[in-house]
Amino acid sequence: MKLIGKILAWALAIVLAVAVGGWFALKRDDIPFETLEQKYAGPDSKYVEIAEGMRIRYIEAGPADAPVILLVHGNGISLDTWRPWVKVLAADYRVVALDLPGHGLTRSPQGWDANPQAFAEVIHQFADKLKLERFTLVGQSLGGFAAWEYALKHPERLDSLVLVAAAGWPDERPEFKERDQSVISRLLRTEWGRRLLRDLDSTAILKNGMLLAYANDAMVTDALVARYAELGRGPGHRQIAVDMMGTWPKWPMASAERLSALRVPTLILQGEKDELVPADHGRKFQAAIPGSKLIVYQGVGHVLNEEVADRSANDLKAFLGELPETTAETPKPEAPRPEAPATLPDVGNQDPSLIFH
């Protein structure tokens, strides 16, 4: 029996050694922002500090006195996803795009709590800092979640709202329910699990997510994956990423009741082949938001602002061209809601394991 015990002890030690060795082999250090800026910022990047430790990177183009369009990207990427739109829109509009906290070249204070309401507040502070009194707010994916949250709270600031493959509805597809029960999803719901996973190389997971996001796989180049993988290693970014994936189930989600309060002119753009935000969610937004307009692009995936850039940007221009110059009545913001519960609810239809969403 003693021999068997020693054998088992040695076997356990070998397994632990392999596991620890594998963790160190996959561990990746942060990349200093100075290094990332030299490689990825480009000559048009600007920076503004909206709060202590919160330094936002942004770009802007177009006439300074033209109507403003503010672009907000999705999770795991950066403002660079909007560059094809900027080329189309900047002739007629002042176009501004920012990197959200935890993304791109924006710097965030340690411990910053990321959620759609917090992102909406960042948008508000950023708009104040740049003195954007009124604007069209465009949000893609997670940025769309933040955008409609902003519209509920600050409708008086918006000329219109544009939701591009916007997140926010509970996903009831069976495959998402299965992922919710995966080992990674369970680990992400614990603080020690998030610490364990935070610093590991996520390049392969990111690439798989991007292949889901783009209907055209040829758009997912090695250079694109490498850029977002490296930007994701900006100091503090990975902590925000794993915290979001772990706390996603606590976020207040979209509902017909909540969205019925919106009185902002709203355009909804959706790819029919979107594997991350189903096309049905775009139809739910249209049904819930009074007077909203929906355009669905056949054969197009999640990142339609890149996949059909010219077409979708021109659809936006046509929508904006049809809007009245003034709004007769200033809509009232949504009434305050109770804070989310401190403990995680049953989240059978959520999928916090997705990095690219």
Reported as a single tens digit per residue, the pLDDT across 134-158 is: 999 999 999 999 999 999 999 999 9
* Orientation of helix 116-129 relative to helix 142-153, angle to 10°: 70
pLDDT reported for residue 176: 66
Quick count: other Cβ atoms within 10 Å of Cβ 286?
19
* Contacts (Cβ under 8 Å, ≥6 apart) of 13: none
Q: What is the three-class DSSP state of 31?
A: coil
What is the count of structural domains for the chain?
1
Q: Do the Cβ atoms of 250 and 341 come closer than 8 Å?
A: yes
> Which one-letter amino acid corresponds to residue 133?
E
Buried b / exposed e along 108-142 (16+ C-beta atoms within 10 A): beeebebbbbebbbbbbebbeebebeebbbbbbbb
Q: Do the Cβ atoms of 119 and 146 come closer than 8 Å?
A: yes
Q: Do the Cβ atoms of 98 and 79 come closer than 8 Å?
A: yes
Say how far apart CA 105 and CA 319 lie, in whole Å.
Answer: 31
Q: Do the Cβ atoms of 62 and 95 come closer than 8 Å?
A: yes
pLDDT reported for residue 242: 87
Q: Write out the E strands in the chain.
A: 46-51, 54-61, 68-72, 94-98, 135-140, 158-164, 266-271, 293-297
In a domain, 10, yes or no: no
pLDDT reported for residue 337: 44
> What is the domain range of residue 271?
34-178+251-321
In a domain, 268, yes or no: yes
In a domain, 26, yes or no: no
Q: Do the Cβ atoms of 214 and 76 come closer than 8 Å?
A: no
In a domain, 225, yes or no: no
DSSP 270-294: EETT-SSS-HHHHHHHHHHSTT-EE
In a domain, 305, yes or no: yes
pLDDT reported for residue 249: 80
Please choose, from the candidates 83, 115, 99, the residue with its C-alpha nearest in 3D space to the C-alpha of residue 50: 99
pLDDT reported for residue 135: 98
CA 120 to chain CA centroid, nearest Å: 12
DSSP 175-244: HHHHHHTSHHHHHHTSHHHHHHHHTB--HHHHHHHHHHH-SSGGG--HHHHHHHHHHTTSTTHHHHHHHH
- pTM for this prediction: 0.84
Please choose, from the candidates 267, 301, 309, the residue with its C-alpha nearest in 3D space to the C-alpha of residue 87: 309
Which segments of the chain have a pLDDT < 50? 1-20, 23-24, 327-357
* Burial category of 323 from C-beta neighbours within 10 Å (exposed 0-12, middle 13-18, buried 19 and up): middle
In a domain, 275, yes or no: yes
Say how far apart CA 209 and CA 324 lie, in whole Å.
Answer: 40
In a domain, 161, yes or no: yes
Q: What is the CATH number of the domain that holds 271?
A: 3.40.50.1820
In a domain, 240, yes or no: no
Please choose, from the candidates 117, 102, 60, the residue with its C-alpha nearest in 3D space to the C-alpha of residue 85: 60
* Contacts (Cβ under 8 Å, ≥6 apart) of 219: 303, 306, 307
pLDDT reported for residue 175: 74
Q: Do the Cβ atoms of 311 and 87 come closer than 8 Å?
A: no
